[in-house]
Amino acid sequence: MKLDLVEIFKKRTRHPFRPRASDIISGLFPNFEAFATPGESLICGKCTYQEKQLYVIAQQKPKPDDLKTADDLKKINYGMLTSDDHSFILSVLKRTRNSDPEHTYIFCIIDTYGADISMYSAQRFQAFFIAHLIREFLTIPVRTVSLILGEGGSGGALAIQVTDIRGQMDDALYATAPPESMASIVFRDPNRIQDALSVLKPTAKELKVLGVIDRIVPSPQNVTDTEGFTRNIDQFLSKALKDLSHSRIKKLIKKRETKAKRYGLYKKTGPFHDIKRYIEKPLKAFRKPPPDIKIVTHHTPIEVADNYGELQQKDSDAEFVECGAGRGGSNRRKGCGQLIPLKRFLENYNVCPECGFSYTLDASGWIDCLADPGTFHELYRNLTVDQLLEEESITNYYRDFLAKQEGRSQFKECLVVGSARIHRFRVVMAISEFYFCGGSMGVVFGEKFRRAVDYAIQENIPFVSLCCSGGARLYEGIAALMQMVKTIESVNRLKRHGLLYISILADPSTGGAIASYAALGDVIIAEPGALVIFAGPRVMAARGFEVQEEKVRSDSLHNYSKEIYKNLDYYHNIRGIQEIATRREMKFTVAKYLDLYCRVKPKVRKIPKKKKKAKAASMI
């Protein structure tokens, strides 16, 4: 009898007695040498398999026997990897780099709800760890294989899934977010799992078509048949290793890059569609107040001053903003409540000049804040979802959502890219537009970022990104999640060409954006009070996690970044947030790093063609 997707999810993918990673490892690798890992949710070790040295990295969901006591049941992050676990995996990958690359392989087993979103991990730069792991798997000179055993959830799964050959059990599900979370966020109803699954497209067949996985591994009819699972996985792994042994590692690394570039491109792609590179005229952005605040108009020309002893003249019909108030005017919980002239508010980049309370700044505001006047030339302004996704991939839910964004922003997508000058230094900029779909990462976001990086490499100039995002665009399903890989691959190419990459974190910097490109800057600067976290406070609270928001704001994380240098073995190449700068000081702060880069960047001396030929002849 054929089961529908919800039944597969409930009766097979999350069956309590479905084999776990440890069961598969015990059946496949009798000589497995386990490493002492930080927690119960991570299994790491090495073994000999088909005369090859195999490193195994596996996520482990709890078994029913693991949940017997009240303390066991309190572990709401059981089955999710913490920052400690991710640090340990980076150490294992570093170890494999020192092994014989021709006889060393990595096998990852994925089965998790997602990454740990507790305050413990959030304070220790969990999102940064995910970004660095994806980057490591894209570049590591070792042959790699991964398998979605049961459930692949969000960035927690993606952190160890970007391999040379990627398999998935035919009854496993791999999604941008757990279905119940997707239903809660998108439909505001956790019971609409069927609708959530239809948008997520998490099945092996769907993901193979999208290029997210390469091979589908059959599951036995009995979901508790450990021997049947082990036998089928053995066949998959054996063939994968054999196939990989015929490819050189350099070629495999190139294939990883090619796969990453293709994520989210399902139609109308290729050189022909890249011909129109940018708008020749500078962008003339019209600064508007944020769409979610209330503008107060005063009709009386005279008002009583604060000291009650003087009368002050007011412009008739002048517009003001009440500091901290939203559109309703009654929901002010922060800010000083003072009335600020709208013009002064906009000139101060949406920051109250009295108390420093700030509203989220849109892309045009950030362009005004960072770029020299009249120097920003926008790239790829007209790229939209319809040009990249097939018609059937854009659901009615998604179209309704996009329709609601009309009028909230002057831009057509949530990433604005272009060339500009910052205190005369020429750069390429990628600026999030929070007021279009919450700055969410989708296929257009990833493709525009990729093209902007290509342009920076072509022009040999630094790259500046500004992150202001609510996370991945769930309406696009797994395609949105894979933009994390795409943007990380783009950053890798920037670094390979020796170009400076400055990452600015605005409020908020969350989800897939902070767990990908935004965490990989050579220099990372944040504005004061910016929320910097993988899963937002609302999602954390909904899942039962304690929330201490002040600890994951930029000021606190910047202070914690000083501790990184005392524990480099734990943080590896992660350095946290280097500097905090207000919006008024941001342009100068970025310029000083651009200046330093230009001063120390080695000048490439071009060799004349005749000399090149003579040099080549002398080497023969």
Which tokens sit at 606?
Answer: 């071009």
Same-domain check for residues 330 and 392: no
Reported as a pLDDT band with limits 50, 70 and 90, residue 568 is very high
> What are the angstrom distances between the C-alpha of 507 and each of 337, 413, 434, 530?
20, 18, 9, 4
Rounded distance between C-alpha atoms, residue 407 and residue 159, angstroms: 36
Average pLDDT over residues 35-47: 96
Q: Residue 46: pLDDT above 60?
A: yes
Judge whether 276 lies within some domain: no
What CATH number is given to the structural domain containing 403?
A: 3.90.226.10
- pLDDT, mean of residues 600-607: 67
Please tell me the least confidently modeled range out of 68-72, 84-88, 409-413.
68-72
Q: Among 262, 286, 306, which residue terminates a domain? A: 262
Which of 189-198, 316-325, 342-351, 512-521 shows the lowest per-residue confidence on average (mean pLDDT)? 316-325
Residue 282 within a domain: no
**pLDDT greater than 90 at residue 584:** yes
CB atoms within 10 A of CB 74: 9
Residue 593 lies in a domain: yes
601 or 83: whose pLDDT is higher? Answer: 83
Per-residue pLDDT at 65 = 87
Residue 356 lies in a domain: no
213 and 141 co-located in one domain? yes
Residues 518-536 pLDDT 10s: 999 999 999 999 999 998 8
What pLDDT is stored for residue 198 in this prediction?
83
With b for 16 or more beta-carbon neighbours within 10 A and e for fewer, the 300-315 pattern comes to eeeeeeeeeeeeeeee
403 with 473, same domain: the answer is yes
Interacting residues of 121 by C-beta distance below 8 A, sequence separation 6+:
82, 83, 84, 115
Sequence-ordered list of residues with C-beta below 8 angstroms from that of 606, at least 6 positions apart, any chain: none
In the chain, % of residues over pLDDT 90: 64
User: In which band, very low, low, confident or very high, does the pLDDT at 611 lie, cut at 50, 70 and 90?
Assistant: low
Name which residue leads in pLDDT, 408 or 22.
22
**How far, CA to CA in Å, does 73 sit from each of 9, 62, 63, 64, 389?**
22, 10, 12, 10, 42
pLDDT reading at 301 higher than 50: no
Please check whether residues 245 and 330 belong to one and the same domain: no
pLDDT at residue 450 greater than cutoff 80: yes
On whether both 110 and 201 belong to a single domain, the answer is yes
pLDDT of residue 609: 56
Give pLDDT tens digits for 465-522: 999 998 899 899 899 999 999 999 999 999 999 999 999 999 999 999 999 999 999 9
For residue 291, whether the previous peptide bond is cis, meaning omega lies within 30 degrees of 0, is no
Q: Mean pLDDT in the chain?
A: 88
Higher pLDDT, 360 or 108: 108
Closest CA to 149 of 60, 32, 29: 60
* Interval 357-365 mean pLDDT: 91
Weakest mean pLDDT among 117-121, 317-321, 524-528: 317-321
pLDDT in tens, 211-247: 999 999 999 999 999 999 999 999 999 999 999 999 9
DSSP string covering 517-552, please?
Answer: GGGG-SEEEE-TT-BEESS-HHHHHHTT----GGGG
Whether residue 112 lies inside any domain: the answer is: yes
pLDDT > 70 fraction of the chain, expressed in percent and rounded = 89
**Domain endpoint, select from 262, 283, 315:** 262
Considering the domain architecture, whether residues 251 and 321 belong to the same structural domain is answered as: no
Question: Of 242, 262, 282, at which residue does a domain stop?
Answer: 262
Residues 307 and 409 in one domain: no
Point out which residues pair with 54 in neighbouring strands: 47, 105
CA dihedral 397, 402, 404, 407 (to 10 degrees): -170
Are 545 and 76 in contact by the 8 Å Cβ rule? The answer is: yes
Beta bridge partners of residue 110, listed in sequence order: 148
Q: Does position 280 have pLDDT exceeding 70, yes or no?
A: no
- The pLDDT assigned to 273 comes to 46
Which H or E run includes 600?
helix 583-600
Q: Do 416 and 310 share a structural domain? A: no
pLDDT reported for residue 406: 85
Domain range for 117 is 5-262
303 pLDDT higher than 80 = no
Quickly state the pLDDT bin for 327 (edges 50, 70, 90). low
User: What confidence tens digit (pLDDT) does each residue in 202-216 have?
Assistant: 999 999 998 999 999
Judged by DSSP in three states, 79 sits in: coil
Alpha-carbon separation of residue 279 from 375, 380, 418 (angstroms): 12, 8, 9
Is there a single domain that holds both residue 96 and residue 232? yes
pLDDT band at 619 (very low <50, low <70, confident <90, very high): very low
pLDDT at 332 over 80: no
Lowest mean pLDDT among 87-101, 330-344, 407-421, 540-554: 330-344
* Residue 539 in domain: yes
pLDDT for the residue 281: 52
Region 60-84: what's the mean pLDDT? 86
258 CB neighbour count, 10 Å cutoff: 10
Question: Is residue 130 in some structural domain?
Answer: yes
Given a cut of 60, whether residue 389 has pLDDT beyond it is: yes
100 and 174 belong to one structural domain: yes
Query: Quick check: 322 pLDDT over 50?
Result: yes
pLDDT reading at 304 higher than 50? no
Are both 472 and 327 inside the same structural domain? Answer: no
Would 100 be classed as within a structural domain? yes
> How many whole angstroms separate alpha carbon 350 and alpha carbon 324?
11
Which single residue is written with the structure tokens 């490193």?
55
Q: In the structure, what pLDDT confidence band is assigned to residue 316 with cuts at 50, 70 and 90?
A: very low
Residue 253 has what pLDDT?
97
- How many Å apart are CA 60 and CA 39, to the nearest integer? 10
Taking only the tens place, the pLDDT of each residue in 404-440 is 888 888 898 999 999 999 999 999 999 999 999 999 9
Give how many domains the chain has, as a whole number: 3
Average pLDDT over residues 77-91: 95
Query: How far is CA 151 from each of CA 60, 184, 232, 236, 555, rounded to the nearest angstrom?
Result: 11, 19, 17, 18, 36
Greater confidence (544 vs 304) lies with: 544
pLDDT at 305: 47
pLDDT computed for residue 458 by the predictor = 96
Distance CA 254, CA 318 (A): 59
CA dihedral 431, 436, 438, 439 (to 10 degrees): -20
Q: Could you report the per-residue pLDDT of 364-386, keeping only the tens digit for each? A: 999 999 999 999 999 999 999 99
pLDDT at 29: 97
- What pLDDT does 77 receive? 84
Indicate if 125 and 256 belong to the same structural domain. Answer: yes
Q: Tokens representing 302?
A: 């005279």
Residue 341 confidence (pLDDT) above 60: yes
The amino acid occupying position 78 is Y
Residues 374-399 have a mean pLDDT of 90
Average pLDDT over every residue of 56-85? 88
